[in-house]
Amino acid sequence: MLKRRYPLIAPLLALTLPAVAAPDPSDWSAVLDEADGQTVYWNAWGGDSRTNRYIDWVAEQMQAQFNVEVAHVKLDDTSSAVSRVLAEKQAGNDDEGSIDLIWINGENFAAMRESDLLFGPFAEALPNFALTNADDNPEVVTDFTLPTEGYESPWGKAQITFYYDSALTDTPPQDMSALLEWAKANPGQFSYPRIPDFTGSTFLKQALIELTDQDDALYQPVDDADFERVTAPLWAYLDDLHPHLWRSGRTFPDSGPNLRTLMSDGELSLAFSFYPTDAAVAVREYELPESVRSYVLEGGTLGNVHFVAIPYNSPHKAGAMVLANFLLSPEAQAQKQSLSMWGDRSVLDIDQLDADARALFEQGEQHPSELPTDALSNTLPEPHPSWMTALQDAWLERYGVN
């Protein structure tokens, strides 16, 4: 059994152990040698069984291929891990931190960079990073408008995807205005996760992008904008929408997986996920009926790349880099994209891979509940990370008392 390290004793250890120089990412053979035998404490969201089973598979491969043990520290909220690293820094624990790798993006990445809590740059020195073809795919080096500058390594793509039960709904809504009218005609059949859940927060941003006529402001720091003016259409929309939601908007599901459960139980007939293949995987695993179909809104939907990063005080930076590099391998990316594992989209430029690597991504006949391959071509970029926190705070002030 893995033993957890306890951050409270780390400052005492730092007084007796000499500081260890960080491994040079460009000397990959030295990184591999140093990683041999290390345990990497990977802090990652643990709220979905498919994500967890993929990370379990990764741990098996890391042990077998690199003699690196991976401990999945399951998070409910990534911000708690960010707070832990900040607390360790404030306590003077600069060498024996409790986190070696963290699944992160958006406002949490911005917060860690602002407080100098990340090791790097390292990402572009990873041998497999070149497979992303970053020159032609700038989203793998941009996080919510911010350049990653090598402090994050990409490992998956997400985009809002709606799904519905075609046995109950002939024509699903194709934009936010149509969604409101559909909810009024089908009361209680739709909802979104309670804020600050990231899927629910992404729904707010999707709605705001479509409803406001000040969308340019969303790609600058929120303090530079007239927040009340920009967001007024959003709050008016939600005030109109909430009475027609599941349980009349008096309460909200906890998460995206909880939305899926409500669909499975027949309480909802329209839902959405931040993972485009979520519904197709659920149908394959008999969690949703065969009549469920996936689609995206006509004007496009919000999407982003998710990353892993290494805290500045990780004691196992070599093992963390080997793990980040493995996550970018065709083997790991194809397994992650498989509907039998997770269904998370790859960050690799698959067209640039050799024939053997491309073959790993072939999944046979497309599942009827899965999106067409070209359906995600219109991806709306994420707003500046400061908008996420501001929207969450404003939502909680207006609706969080329920």
Instruction: Give the H or E element holding residue 71.
Output: strand 69-75
pLDDT tens digit sequence for 317-369: 999 999 999 999 999 999 999 988 998 999 999 999 999 999 999 877 788 89
243 vs 4 pLDDT, higher one = 243
- Boundaries of every domain in the chain: 20-157+306-359, 161-295+377-399
pLDDT tens digit sequence for 173-222: 999 999 999 999 999 999 999 999 999 999 999 999 999 999 899 999 99
Residue 296: predicted pLDDT: 95
Q: Name the 3-class secondary structure at 41.
A: strand
Which own/partner pairs from 86-90 qualify as long-range (CB within 8 Å, at least 24 positions apart)?
A: 86/115, 86/117, 87/7, 88/7, 88/10, 88/313, 89/115, 89/116, 89/117, 89/312, 89/313
C-beta of residue 225 within 8 angstroms of C-beta of residue 217: yes
Domains 20-157+306-359 and 161-295+377-399 share a fold: yes
**Residue 274 per-residue DSSP state:** S
180: Cα separation from own chain's centroid = 27
Domain 161-295+377-399 has CATH 3.40.30.10: no
Residue 22: predicted pLDDT: 79
Under the banding of pLDDT at 50, 70 and 90, the label for residue 20 is low
> What architecture does CATH give domain 20-157+306-359?
3-Layer(aba) Sandwich (3.40)
How much is the CA Rg of the chain, to the nearest whole Å? 21
